[in-house]
Structure 1
């Protein structure tokens, strides 16, 4: 009887398989680490909200008038760089409710949480050249476009989701002494060094010219055209349109109420 022989696997093939397995395991570990980082970062902000945002669920009126207040004195003991809180009206749809940090250094909170720990998501922070009391005619707030839609990850839905703008036109900025309500009037992709990243404007023709550019560049005609006497806050995040592209959302100040403690 003829003896059967088993074909031996070539050593090079075994090496390739082992290398592929090692690469796959490394990638899985890396991904798990990233999502763990995402979770830890978001838990930090959720804890802050539960401790220092009073009445975060809202009441019967518009969110910015429902009595929601931020306990800044206690919150700033966690980090004195926390100068404001950003929250969208329709929080059930746009999950943006975060402290706004200001240090004068646009790198400090890019990959750091409020306690100085490294986190991919970093913090929401105000442009270093702005005034931290939101008295400027143009203020810029930066945040990462996270894949799990945390931080400014939901902003891309303005350009991707049909009807999203109509249901999510307003956001609110809470400071120690006031609540400001902004209505979104424009959003679009832009180069990272575009003029839109300029601050320090006065209510003059130069400011009106930039506002006009914001309106003209918008992916959607919102029918809202601010004037040079109005203040604008720009929310800026990364865009998938290219490595040097950013996505900006512009809101014009439409109302303001003093905080009466």
Structure 2
């Protein structure tokens, strides 16, 4: 649901949690080679402010940076800020049904689509300006022990309850989910895609015009690597089934069931 109040940590409207951040030098991600900005986060201070604090989300392309909370009920932070104040903006929260500590195959983070651009109010900028994502397609998750680097591979409009929110398991389920995300994406963001045999029935018709390499996964589905229209080189190897991160916010009229989602794949941990 679109709302019209709330404060962003990057908007110039300072919050108490903003004082727990200082900017430092970039550090090199050990797996991807991608430099992860060092935010010099005071995790202890954030935990003192809110025991539900689990991580910091940072998307440089959108200048989006927030502490993320986890509770046993997703409704807890719909209208409660990180500082515990009642506010329509709420907080960015970790889906209570996702395995904790980013251990699941797909972790969901939710936030309001605020009209003033706070919370997830800027996510749809990716849709309006494709250059934002193509030039800086990274999402960073900071915890006390690790920094996780994700690369965005899909974003699009959907509806509540669509396949974007489906649980999946196994290689076939993973392949089908990623293929669905890529099919619906508003932009071609990566050079390689994972498709199951069922999800790519028309792929063979394009085989003469596409450069691809096929291999067989454990469950017999086809892992097809193919070129897309991306202008930048992808570092995502979907054949390894990297863990996914999905950001979700409301879209369209207030109270409607439209959603905007951003999908990213883990490319490094340090």
Fold shared by both chains (TM-score > 0.5): yes
Counterpart Cα distance in 2 of 1:53 and 1:71: 6
Gaps of 5+ in 2: 194-237
Which protein shows a greater Rg?
1
Gaps of 5+ in 1: 1-33
Counterpart Cα distance in 2 of 1:227 and 1:40: 37
Q: 1:132 to 1:60 in 2, by over 3 A?
A: closer
Q: 1:120 aligns with which of 51, 63, 88?
A: 88
Partner of 1:47: 16
Partner of 1:216: 183
Q: 2:158 aligns with which of 174, 190, 206?
A: 190
Given that 2:130 and 2:187 are in contact with CA atoms closer than 8 Å, whether structure 1 keeps it comes out as: no
Q: 2:133 aligns with which of 165, 186, 189?
A: 165
Q: 1:175 to 1:246 in 2, by over 3 A?
A: same
Given that 1:145 and 1:239 are in contact with CA atoms closer than 8 Å, whether structure 2 keeps it comes out as: yes
Alignment of 1:1-261 (within 5 A): 37-39=5-7, 46-49=15-18, 51-54=19-22, 56=23, 58-59=25-26, 64-90=35-61, 94-199=62-167, 201-223=168-190, 224-225=192-193, 226-227=238-239, 229-240=241-252, 243-257=256-270
Q: 1:195 to 1:228 in 2, by over 3 A?
A: farther
Counterpart Cα distance in 1 of 2:8 and 2:182: 38
Superposition deviation, residue 207 in structure 1: 1.8
**What is the SS of the residue equivalent to 2:249?**
strand
CA offset digits 1:88-130 (Å, max 9, x no partner): 134xxx1210011000211000111123321111000011111
CA offset digits 1:160-203 (Å, max 9, x no partner): 1252222231110011210000110000111101122134x444
Given that 2:24 and 2:37 are in contact with CA atoms closer than 8 Å, whether structure 1 keeps it comes out as: no
Counterpart Cα distance in 2 of 1:222 and 1:40: 27
Partner of 1:13: none
Q: 1:177 to 1:195 in 2, by over 3 A?
A: same
Q: Which has the higher contact order (CA 8 A, sep 6+)?
A: 2
Between Structure 1 and Structure 2, the one with more helix by share is 1
Taking structure 1 as the reference length, the TM-score comes to: 0.74
Counterpart Cα distance in 2 of 1:192 and 1:40: 25
Q: 1:171 to 1:101 in 2, by over 3 A?
A: same
Counterpart Cα distance in 2 of 1:151 and 1:40: 6
Superposition deviation, residue 74 in structure 1: 2.4
Counterpart Cα distance in 2 of 1:43 and 1:112: 20
Q: 1:202 to 1:248 in 2, by over 3 A?
A: same
Taking structure 2 as the reference length, the TM-score comes to: 0.72
